[in-house]
Amino acid sequence: MVYNMHERVVPASPERVWDLLMGLGGEGDRLWPQEKGRFHLPEGVRPGAPVEHDPMRYTVGAVEPHRRIWFDTEEMTGGHGFTLRPVEGGTLVRHEIKGRTTGLFRLLWPVLIRWQHDAVLERLLDNLEREARRVGAG
């Protein structure tokens, strides 16, 4: 079983954070650390939409506006995603991975993928925080 969590209080409302997350994987994406491979949602964020995340392909599972985006993967049962919760000072943004790894992913997660994933998520949250401050100032 794999459980991995990253969270950050972002100084903006859940609505603003949601709007920023809706740009993830799209044209002009300001959140994804560009040097960390490709993350693309060619059909946007809607249930069933494909996700291209080098080298994996998966789908958007659940979308609850201003609250939750979940991704369903084949490499890991359970999937991963973001939840938003209003807190003092802004919005608690949490990214979680929950599930069991399958196939080659079972071997690669603990020795390679986890460390890359952690670095990407922290950069993504840094970018989200920066953009939320910029949007909040505008």
pLDDT in tens, 102-121: 888 899 999 988 999 999 99
Domain count, the chain: 1
46 close to 63: Cβ distance less than 8 angstroms? yes
Query: For residue range 82-95, what is the model confidence (pLDDT) as tens digits?
Result: 999 999 999 999 99
Instruction: Supply the range of the domain harboring residue 56.
Output: 2-137
Q: Which residue has the higher pLDDT, 55 or 26?
A: 26
Query: Which alpha helices (DSSP H) does 22-101 contain, by range?
Result: none
Alpha helices in the chain (DSSP H): 14-21, 103-108, 114-137
pTM listed for this prediction: 0.91
Please tell me the predicted confidence (pLDDT) of residue 138. 44
Q: How far is residue 51's CA from residue 111's CA, in Å, rounded to a whole number? A: 24
CATH of the domain at 74: 3.30.530.20
Are 2 and 76 a contacting pair, CB within 8 Å?
Answer: yes
